């Protein structure tokens, strides 16, 4: 039987995934009892396990498997001058425009991109290219009046009010700020970090010196980042509070392009090793570079709403370290024992969005297929997570709640839970219990039945094939441990 997720995807694939994520304890809208908080989400009992498993695998691949990469956990609050030095105070902006009738706010560049997409769909490729190149020119020159004129000239209307009654275009800084201590004036202003990378840059010397690290070496960290996104939609794809997994790799100036290529390939290999199909992944090279980069590419995944960025690989030059040196007036340089020269290291960054990887796993694992049930055909829905990422590795069921089966099943569960996230369940018919585990992506269900009492064996049902085999109870832990191990993935990356 081949997987046929088309049915759900054709209707409204993202809606089905969002509904499933809520119903089965993966993701809840934040503050739901108070009608929610836009673009903020909570991870439920299964979501947090999946998220932790993605984090753990990233950490193992980046830190444990790379002798020259070490970890860090820096604070969210940092000295406000850091954000001046990094360019975020002055340049971390999106151009926004409001519709006066609907009071809705849009990103001016996204309105124009959507118009170009419409032109392309109606076969006007040249018109679309011309429009985008005009818009890019205006964005590069920060010509906000020109952007507004282009929106008006193109007769772009607000999707809500249907009118073209637009305000001027203004730059909108995406950083959240608050005040530290009890006095609320500008001298106490602090920002919630919009990227974790700056915590790495300002600790570069601490790590290099305390760890006696030699270039090239990297510093990795996982942590929350905050952006006051103007347009926050597509579920957890664009959030205002999200988590990044970033690594800054410090290299000798002039060698950065080689390292940039190497990290691009390594990171793409990692996504493929998670079992994501090749045709759902691609690189997107940036033509318009961020203020700090001399080369940049995204790894994009084919979401139900199109190919979108899940991770960026950026060659950030010495922009950040040089600026921190200038603003802090503290020397940040490296004496290279090989060349006997001192320099400010260049940086190649890999920056993945944890929540986007989570959504990628959810989308690529969401399978709906038709299966034969006697003469009927019925639909089967399950989450085909790779076993090493699945929130729960195994579920243990006594076939019935009597005859000593629960006692034996519990004994097995108690053994399994020492090593793995596992579930014990004795309610409902066995078929229903299997279905419930399919819906949360548990790869193995173990049933203790009457034969178990006679010969100390149990059945193990595999989620994707639904095949069952019988094995000795005392072999179950080793069996599960082997099946859910991440060793094969780690060997590939």
Q: Which residue has the tokens 């409902």?
A: 428
Per CB under 6 A, which region of 12-20, 134-142, 156-164, 349-357 contacts ligand GAP? 349-357
Per CB under 6 A, which region of 126-134, 136-144, 303-311, 423-431 contacts ligand GAP? 303-311
Under rule CB under 6 A, residue 197 binds ligand GAP = yes
Under rule CB under 6 A, residue 239 binds ligand GAP = yes
Count of CA atoms in the C-beta half-sphere (13 A) of 231: 14
Complete edge-to-edge strand list for the sheet that includes strand 217-226: 69-71, 217-226, 241-251, 346-353, 306-317, 295-303, 281-285
Lookup: tokens for 349: 């960054």
Query: Which residue sits closest to ligand GAP, CB atoms considered?
Result: 353
Q: Which is nearer to ligand GAP, 162 or 269 (CB)?
A: 269
Contacts 24+ apart (CB under 8 A), 285-294: 287/136, 288/136, 288/139, 288/140, 290/314, 291/87, 291/91, 291/319, 292/86, 292/87, 292/316, 292/317, 292/319, 292/320, 293/317, 293/319, 294/256
Per CB under 6 A, which region of 47-55, 278-286, 350-358, 379-387 contacts ligand GAP? 350-358
| Residue from the set 94, 109, 195, 318 that interacts with ligand GAP by CB under 6 A | 195
Under rule CB under 6 A, residue 20 binds ligand GAP = no
Under rule CB under 6 A, residue 88 binds ligand GAP = no
Under rule CB under 6 A, residue 355 binds ligand GAP = yes
- Tabulate helix, strand, coil % of the chain (nearest 5): 40, 25, 35
List of residues 6+ apart from 314 with CB closer than 8 A? 290, 292, 293, 295, 296, 348, 349, 351
User: Which DSSP helix (H) or strand (E) runs through 314?
Assistant: strand 306-317
List of residues 6+ apart from 177 with CB closer than 8 A? 189, 190, 191, 192
Q: Which is nearer to ligand GAP, 143 or 229 (CB)?
A: 229
Per CB under 6 A, which region of 28-36, 159-167, 252-260, 351-359 contacts ligand GAP? 351-359
Under rule CB under 6 A, residue 310 binds ligand GAP = yes
Under rule CB under 6 A, residue 353 binds ligand GAP = yes
Compute the least distance from the CB of residue 243 to ligand GAP, in Å.
Answer: 8
| Residue from the set 113, 124, 229, 419 that interacts with ligand GAP by CB under 6 A | 229
> What per-residue string of b and e applies to 133-167 under the rule 16 or more CB within 10 Å gives b?
ebbeebbeeeebebbbebbeebebebeeeeeeebe
Under rule CB under 6 A, residue 150 binds ligand GAP = no
| Residue from the set 83, 92, 242, 250 that interacts with ligand GAP by CB under 6 A | 242
Q: Pick out residues in 377-436 that bind ligand GAP (CB under 6 A).
A: none
Q: Which is nearer to ligand GAP, 99 or 350 (CB)?
A: 350
Under rule CB under 6 A, residue 54 binds ligand GAP = no
Under rule CB under 6 A, residue 51 binds ligand GAP = no
Per CB under 6 A, which region of 52-60, 242-250, 373-381, 408-416 contacts ligand GAP? 242-250
Please answer whether residues 27 and 42 qualify as being in contact, where contact means their C-beta atoms are separated by less than 8 angstroms.
yes
Contacts with ligand GAP by CB under 6 A lie at 195, 197, 227, 229, 238-239, 242, 244, 246, 309-312, 349, 351-353, 355-356
């Amino acid at each position: 039987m081949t997987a046929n997720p088309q049915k759900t995807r054709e209707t409204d694939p993202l809606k089905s995934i969002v509904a499933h994520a809520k119903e089965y304890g993966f993701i809840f809208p934040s503050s739901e009892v108070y009608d929610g908080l836009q673009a903020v989400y909570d991870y439920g009992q299964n979501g947090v396990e999946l998220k932790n498993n993605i984090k753990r695998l990233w950490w193992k691949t980046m830190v444990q498997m790379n002798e020259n990469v070490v970890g860090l956990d820096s604070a969210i609050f940092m000295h406000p001058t850091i954000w001046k030095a990094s360019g975020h105070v002055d340049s971390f902006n999106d151009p926004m425009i409001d519709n006066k009738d609907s009071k809705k706010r849009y990103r001016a560049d996204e309105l124009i991109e959507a118009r170009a997409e419409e032109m392309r769909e109606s076969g006007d490729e040249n018109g679309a290219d011309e429009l985008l190149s005009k818009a890019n020119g205006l964005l590069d020159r920060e010509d906000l009046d020109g952007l507004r004129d282009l929106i008006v000239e193109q007769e772009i209307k607000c999707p809500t009010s249907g009118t073209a009654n637009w305000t001027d275009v203004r730059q909108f800084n995406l950083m959240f700020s608050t005040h530290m201590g009890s006095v609320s004036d500008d001298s106490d202003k602090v920002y919630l970090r919009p990227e974790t990378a700056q915590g790495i840059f300002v600790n570069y010397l601490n790590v290099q010196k305390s760890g006696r690290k030699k270039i090239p070496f990297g510093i990795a960290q996982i942590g929350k980042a905050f952006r006051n996104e103007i347009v926050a939609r597509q579920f957890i794809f664009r959030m205002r509070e999200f988590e990044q997994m970033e690594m800054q790799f410090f290299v000798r100036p002039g060698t950065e392009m080689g390292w940039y290529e190497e990290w691009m390939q390594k990171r793409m290999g990692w996504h493929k090793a998670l079992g994501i199909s090749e045709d759902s992944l691609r690189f997107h090279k940036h033509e318009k570079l961020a203020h700090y980069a001399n080369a940049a590419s995204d790894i994009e995944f084919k979401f139900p709403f199109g190919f979108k960025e899940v991770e960026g690989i950026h060659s950030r030059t010495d922009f950040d370290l040089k600026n921190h040196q200038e603003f802090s007036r503290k020397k940040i340089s490296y004496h290279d024992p090989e060349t006997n020269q001192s320099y400010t290291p260049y940086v190649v960054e890999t920056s993945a969005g944890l929540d986007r990887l989570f959504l990628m796993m959810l989308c690529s694992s969401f399978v709906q297929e038709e299966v034969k049930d006697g003469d009927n055909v019925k639909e089967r829905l399950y989450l085909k997570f790779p076993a090493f990422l699945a929130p729960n590795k195994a579920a243990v069921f006594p076939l019935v709640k009597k005859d000593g089966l629960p006692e034996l099943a519990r004994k097995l569960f108690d053994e399994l839970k020492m090593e793995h996230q596992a579930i014990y369940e004795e309610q409902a018919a066995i078929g229903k219990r299997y279905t419930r585990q399919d819906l949360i992506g548990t790869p193995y269900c173990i049933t203790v039945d009457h034969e178990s009492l006679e010969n100390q064996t149990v059945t193990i049902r595999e989620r994707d094939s639904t095949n069952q085999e019988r094995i000795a109870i005392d072999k179950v832990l080793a069996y599960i441990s082997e099946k859910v191990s991440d060793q094969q993935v780690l060997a590939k990356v």
